[in-house]
């Protein structure tokens, strides 16, 4: 029995990286969005430039779910290396699309799926003589054939091609031709459409289709960042590249073309965070973007920034760890490394955006928080939201909003006789005042150091003043608790004693999992944590439930540990639900794990691997 | 111990510079280094140079790493903001600070452990990047705060106070700075104030990475027979290539020079220095010749000092980056935040 579904299925393209398939695949996804049907797309790619397997998944979802679903309904198998595994990954009743130019023995196929052969290479060899053209147009011909099979509006794809090659007239016609070749071949030789179809809908609205790294970089622009120091590291690199491209357009001085920002590629992560600390000490808003290995290298400076109270924004695009780990796979496994980064007693502020929309708003907010609190702030993205396009609410900005530079004493303040003590708690919130270097000829200068100091920034080895100062830092951390974004709580339809806590990129899958659970008769209240230190509302949520599932994408239940460490919560009350294989967590996994746990069965730790 | 403040009163006839400050106004707190430490002479030379340049102390940012040398910024220019950062990482902090505000003067003080070992990479890259700064290494060939281990600038065959002989090759930071593209390279000796003060002065006036390797004997752990960084050894092997005379409108130089012994060098602010050449035929603008010269003299056990290399109008990191002339830390909301209208366009491009 073949799967029949309108606007609700998963297509997976299996390709070889470096073959030019990425842009054609993305065109396919964009065409569906243009037809008003939401998609969720994911790149599953190797840490390599050319020749290794790569997959691109398009989840067509009328309901707009942005998490990975799990399972594949149609595989477009263009990579002989992974053919067998790709065929095996198809759901029973699903479809296989393959290049039938070379005969493949029937033993390679399955009886319970529909096999669709299109002689793509043969068609290309007939139509084109140039080998590069054969390769590139093969991808477009493939999209044309798929459009016929899925009953897509081919004019939408033509329009997208025209937009993409707007500046290269010749290429438009050539691409349109390739698209038509594929489309008409399928129409004439295959039974179209198959059981999976895309039908026009009005479910996309004003949503935008964007990656989290791009969005976070735009957040940094709107947050007033002027200094970015960085070291290339997957999967954070595209954030800095996006900052470069946004600032080129948005931050040039009109008269001169000079830059209102400095983008510095450092020699390593130690230098990049050092530059951020130096720039922020000197009154510029500064950030770096990195991933786990970079966080490990930045530890010493993070401790200095914490103790000397220097703002810094660090975008951590988490990848699979430990060590070099999985550079091109996703995890949420750096929570403990960031929360307590560096030796001695240290604690840091973290923000957990769930998608590109929050990556933008938290990206901007992080700079206000860092200045307000005079401390490092981590924006904890991960590869899943950082490097994948997602369909999210459009970015918004309140034009009446002003950058909050925090407690900075000006020339006028100093001249007016205000007492300046760099680490003096004047306002009772644990946050002292600072001055920028060069502010006043005779007042306001101080010495910044990572060695022990008193409230007037003087070096001291006296226990009392040293302890007083670090206790004040705890008070400041308590103030942070009230400033970070609070949790988003989604109550179940009926009162329940079961709760779920999750954060960051688990959000989209969790939304869908909550629906699946409700359908299965398991009612859960859901609390999405958005910041650390935890708001009171998070602790109240735990207090209001008998059992709380903590869903995370790491092995060691790191968010659960933070809740236990910081708030003394009984471990028995917090049940871990963990996924850490590399692909993003899915709604099916979460729902199955929680259902099993509620029924008293052991946690289902695994599902069929996605790749 | 910065809480030991010095009394501020002074004699009414004490010398005052053009901005009305006395030498006392350039001081910091009392040094806690060992009596006779060469580093204190460097601090004193910095204060002297800033006084002569009529610099308001608060327009200087003084940064350092960790070690005896890195303690010294506390002991000069009390009116300036200071940053005692982490070991070997002063260059990155200084680079970031410079990026944030191009209008201040950046003075980085480091040591041979700080710059030639743990911070060798940051030393190299800050110079490569063309950061406008004065980078002084107080070089004593030894780890002082941890009591006498060899540093990476210790000469092969040098003897420690406890009698151990160094078997590792030394790093010559001047040779490195030349190779890495520093646009002002000098070496001096903390015991030669007449040479050091004008060098620091010229380095501050220079726009670009100005590096000064200042040999500064450690009286506690490296001033004995068998050391190649002791006062006696350095005095006996010092070979100055030139000495510097400043020419300003207020104080024109009237000294007459023998033909071929004078090289006039224009500085960034329009003033100039006259180099009295001692090494015959030495051209301060020839980088390759300078590299060869210090290597060949070094091979003979001589320590070349003076202004070793100078590039005219080299440009700095900000020129390379193309940043605006307004310091980045002074840009306001209007210049930084594009607003909803720009965001609408971006949203539209993402549909």
Query: Residues B18-37: what's their mean pLDDT?
Result: 94
Please give the pLDDT value at position A608.
41
Option in B73, B82, B336 nearest A260 (CB): B336
Token pair for B253: 């130089």
**Do A264 and A382 fall into the same domain?**
yes
A379 shares a domain with A446: no
Same domain, A59 and A130: yes
Alpha carbon distances (Å) from A271 to A347, B73, B89, B107, B131: 22, 21, 7, 18, 14
- What is the average pLDDT value for chain B, to the nearest integer? 91
CA distance B241 to B308: 7
User: In terms of DSSP H, where are the helices of A51-189?
Assistant: 83-88, 120-127, 131-149, 154-164, 169-189
**Residues of chain A falling short of pLDDT 70:** 601-611
Residue B250 has pLDDT above 80, yes or no: no
B127's tokens = 């110079």
Of A162, A197, A232, which residue is a domain's last? A197
**Could you tell me the pTM of the whole model?**
0.95
pLDDT band at B12 (very low <50, low <70, confident <90, very high): confident
Contacts of A271 in chain B (CB under 8 A): 89, 91-92, 95, 121-122, 125
Same domain, A77 and A187: yes
Tens digit of each residue's pLDDT (9 = 90 or more) over B53-73: 999 999 999 999 999 999 999
CA-to-CA distance for B117 and B141, rounded, in angstroms?
11
| Residue A135 pLDDT | 86
User: For residue A400, is it within any domain?
Assistant: no
State which of A144, A166, A197 marks the end of a domain.
Answer: A197
pLDDT at B51 > cutoff 80: yes
CA B280 to chain CA mean position, Å: 26
* Domain CATH code at residue A66: 3.40.920.10
Which pLDDT band holds residue B335 (cuts at 50, 70, 90)?
very high
Do A131 and A30 belong to one domain?
yes
Residues of A in contact with B104 (CB under 8 A): 282, 437-438
Question: How far apart (Å, rounded) are the C-alpha atoms in residues B315 and B306?
Answer: 23
Q: Do A304 and B129 touch (CB under 8 A)?
A: no
> Does residue A179 sit within a domain?
yes
Question: Could you report the per-residue pLDDT of A125-160, keeping only the tens digit for each?
Answer: 999 999 888 888 999 999 999 999 999 999 999 999
- Cross-chain Cβ contact A261/B328 below 8 Å: yes
pLDDT (0 to 100) of residue A609: 37
Mutate: best of A245, A275, A389, partner B, most B CBs <10 A: A275
Residues A419 and A356 reside in one and the same domain: no
Residues 281-340 on B with a CB inside 8 Å of A are 317-318, 321-325, 328-329, 331, 333, 335-340
* Residues paired with residue A479 on neighbouring β-strands, in sequence order: none
Max intra-chain CA distance, chain A: 88
Clarify whether residues A128 and A247 are in a common domain: no
State which residue of chain A sits closest to B342, comparing Cα positions: A250
- Show which of A335, A364, A392 is a domain's final residue: A392
Is residue A427 in some structural domain? yes
Residues A188 and A317 in one domain: no
Domains of chain B: 23-323 (3.40.50.970)
Q: Tell me, yes or no, whether A115 and A139 share the same domain.
A: yes
Give the integer Cα–Cα distance in Å for A150 and A187: 11
Is A164 a member of any domain?
Answer: yes
Q: Are residues A492 and A468 in the same domain?
A: no
Residues in chain B with CB shorter than 8 Å from the CB of A459 are 1-3, 74
Q: Report the distance separating Cα A123 and Cα A473, nearest Å.
A: 69
Q: Are A229 and A38 in contact (CB under 8 A)?
A: no
The alpha carbon dihedral of A549, A590, A390, A336 has a sign of positive
Residue A297 lies in a domain: yes
Radius of gyration of chain A (CA): 27
Q: Which of A221, A282, A307, A462 to mutate to test the interface with B (most CBs of B within 10 A)?
A: A282
| Confidence bin at B139 (pLDDT 50/70/90) | very high
Residues 204-233 of B with CB under 8 A from A: none
Count of residues in chain A: 611
The answer to whether position A406 is within a domain reads no
Q: What's CA A194's distance to the chain center, in Å? A: 34
pLDDT digits (tens, 9 = 90+) for B80-114: 999 999 999 999 999 999 999 999 999 999 999 99
The answer on A445 and A460 residing in a single domain is yes
ipTM over 0.90: yes
A168 domain residue, yes or no: yes
Interface test with A, best of B54, B98, B328 (most A CBs within 10 A): B328
Domain span at residue A496 reads 488-598
pLDDT for the residue numbered A610: 40
Residues 6+ apart with CB under 8 A from A424: A432, A433, A455, A456
Question: According to the model, what pLDDT value does residue A17 have?
Answer: 85
* Same domain flag for A495 and A479: no
- Which residue bears the tokens 């390739």? A178
Residue A386 lies in a domain: yes
Q: Which long-range contacts (CB under 8 A, 24 or more apart) does A39-44 make?
A: A39/A391, A40/A65, A40/A66, A40/A67, A40/A68, A40/A69, A40/A390, A40/A391, A40/A508, A41/A388, A41/A389, A41/A390, A42/A68, A42/A384, A42/A388, A42/A584, A43/A387, A43/A388, A44/A328, A44/A583, A44/A610, A44/A611
Question: Would you list the DSSP string of A159-180?
Answer: HHHHHHTTT-HHHHHHHHHHHH
Helix (H) or strand (E) holding B340: helix B339-349
Nearest-CB residue to B97 (from A259, A279, A395): A279
How far, in Å, CA of A428 to CA of A431, rounded?
8
Task: Give the domain CATH number at A326.
Answer: 3.40.50.970
Check residue B5 and give its pLDDT.
60
Cis-peptide, bond into residue A106, ω within 30° of zero: no
- Residue A51 has a pLDDT of 85
Tens-place pLDDT, residues A344-379: 999 999 999 999 999 999 999 999 999 999 999 999
d(CA A553, CA A67): 13
Count of domains in chain A? 4
Give the separation between CA A76 and CA A96, rounded to whole angstroms: 6
């Amino acid at each position: 029995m073949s799967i029949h579904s309108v606007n609700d299925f998963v297509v997976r393209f299996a390709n070889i990286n470096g073959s030019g398939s990425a842009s054609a695949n993305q065109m396919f996804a964009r065409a569906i969005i243009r037809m008003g049907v939401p998609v969720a797309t994911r790149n599953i790619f190797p840490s390599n430039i050319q020749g290794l397997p790569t997959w691109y998944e398009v989840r067509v979802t009328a309901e707009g779910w942005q998490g990975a679903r799990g399972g594949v309904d149609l595989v477009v198998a263009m990579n002989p290396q992974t053919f067998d595994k790709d065929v095996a990954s198809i759901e029973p009743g699903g479809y296989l699309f393959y290049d039938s130019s070379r005969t493949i023995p029937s033993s390679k196929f399955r009886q319970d799926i529909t096999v669709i052969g299109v002689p793509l290479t043969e068609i290309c060899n007939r139509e084109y003589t140039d080998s590069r053209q054969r390769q590139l147009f093969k991808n477009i011909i493939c999209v044309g054939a798929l459009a016929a099979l899925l009953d897509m509006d081919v004019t939408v794809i033509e329009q997208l091609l025209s937009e993409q090659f707007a500046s290269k007239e010749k290429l438009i016609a050539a691409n349109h031709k390739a698209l038509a070749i594929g489309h008409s071949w399928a129409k004439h030789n295959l039974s179209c459409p198959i059981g999976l179809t895309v039908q026009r809908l009005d479910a996309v609205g004003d949503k935008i289709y964007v990656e989290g790294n791009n969005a976070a970089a735009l957040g940094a622009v709107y947050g007033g960042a002027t200094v970015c120091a960085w070291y290339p590291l997957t999967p954070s690199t595209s954030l800095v590249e996006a900052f470069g491209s946004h600032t080129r357009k948005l931050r040039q001085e009109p008269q001169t073309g000079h830059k209102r920002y400095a983008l510095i590629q450092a020699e390593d992560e130690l230098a990049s965070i050092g530059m951020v600390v130096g720039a922020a000490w000197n009154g510029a808003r500064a950030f770096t973007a990195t991933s786990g290995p970079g966080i490990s290298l930045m530890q010493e400076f993070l401790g200095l920034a914490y103790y000397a109270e220097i703002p810094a924004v660090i975008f951590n695009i988490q990848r699979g760890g430990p060590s070099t780990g999985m550079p091109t796979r996703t995890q949420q496994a750096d929570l403990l490394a960031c929360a307590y980064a560096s030796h001695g007693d240290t604690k840091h502020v973290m923000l957990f955006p769930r998608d590109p929309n929050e990556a933008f708003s938290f990206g901007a907010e992080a700079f206000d928080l860092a200045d307000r609190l005079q401390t490092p702030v981590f924006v904890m993205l991960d590869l899943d939201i950082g490097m994948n396009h997602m369909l999210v609410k459009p970015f918004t900005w309140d034009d009446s909003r002003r950058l909050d530079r925090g407690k900075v004493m000006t020339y006028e303040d100093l001249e007016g006789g205000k007492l300046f003590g760099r680490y003096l708690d004047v306002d009772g919130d644990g946050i002292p005042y600072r001055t920028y270097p060069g502010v006043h000829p005779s007042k306001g200068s101080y010495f910044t150091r990572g060695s022990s100091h008193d409230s007037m920034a003087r070096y001291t080895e006296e226990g009392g003043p040293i302890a007083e100062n670090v206790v004040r830092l705890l008070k400041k951390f308590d103030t942070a608790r009230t400033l970070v974004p609070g949790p988003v709580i989604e109550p179940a339809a009926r009162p329940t004693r079961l709760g779920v806590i999750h954060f960051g990129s688990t959000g989209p899958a969790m939304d869908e999992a909550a629906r699946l659970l409700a359908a299965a008769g398991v009612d859960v209240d859901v609390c999405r944590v958005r910041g650390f230190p935890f708001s009171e509302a998070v602790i109240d949520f735990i207090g209001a439930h008998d059992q709380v599932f903590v869903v995370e994408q790491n092995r060691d239940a790191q968010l659960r540990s933070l809740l236990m460490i910081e708030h003394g919560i009984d471990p028995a009350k917090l049940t871990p639900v963990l996924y850490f294989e590399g692909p993003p967590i899915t709604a099916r996994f979460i729902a199955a794990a929680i259902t099993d746990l509620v029924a008293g069965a052991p946690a289902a730790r695994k599902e069929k691997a996605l790749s | 111990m910065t809480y030991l403040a010095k009394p501020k009163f002074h004699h009414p006839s004490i010398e005052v510079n053009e901005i009305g400050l006395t030498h006392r106004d350039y001081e910091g707190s009392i040094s806690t280094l060992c009596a006779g430490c060469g580093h204190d002479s460097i601090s004193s030379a910095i204060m002297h140079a800033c006084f002569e340049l009529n610099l308001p102390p608060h327009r200087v940012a003084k940064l350092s790493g960790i070690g005896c040398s890195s303690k010294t910024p506390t002991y000069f220019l009390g009116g300036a903001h200071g940053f005692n950062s982490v070991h070997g990482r002063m260059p990155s902090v200084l680079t970031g600070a410079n990026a944030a505000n191009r209008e201040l003067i950046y003075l980085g003080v480091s040591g041979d452990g700080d710059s030639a070992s743990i911070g060798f990479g940051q030393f190299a890259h800050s110079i490569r990047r063309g950061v406008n700064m004065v980078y002084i290494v107080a070089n004593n060939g030894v780890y002082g705060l941890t009591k006498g281990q060899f540093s990476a600038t210790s000469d092969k065959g040098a003897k420690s106070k406890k009698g151990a002989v160094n078997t590792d090759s030394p790093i010559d930071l001047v040779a490195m700075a030349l190779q890495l593209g520093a646009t002002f390279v000098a070496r001096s000796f903390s015991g030669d104030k007449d040479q050091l003060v004008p060098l620091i002065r010229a380095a501050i006036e220079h726009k670009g990475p100005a590096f000064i390797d200042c040999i500064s004997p450690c009286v506690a752990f490296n001033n004995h027979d068998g050391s190649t960084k002791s006062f006696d050894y350095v005095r006996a092997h010092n070979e100055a290539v030139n000495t510097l005379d400043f020419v300003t409108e207020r104080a024109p130089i009237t000294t007459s020079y023998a033909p071929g012994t004078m090289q006039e060098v224009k500085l960034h602010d329009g003033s100039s220095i006259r180099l009295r050449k001692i090494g015959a035929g030495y051209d301060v603008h020839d980088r390759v010749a300078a590299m060869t010269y210090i290597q060949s003299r070094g091979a003979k056990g001589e320590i070349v000092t003076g202004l070793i290399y100078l590039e005219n109008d080299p440009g700095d990191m900000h020129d390379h980056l193309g940043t605006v002339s307004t310091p980045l830390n002074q840009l306001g909301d209007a210049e930084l935040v594009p607003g909803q209208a720009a965001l609408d366009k971006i949203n539209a491009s993402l549909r």
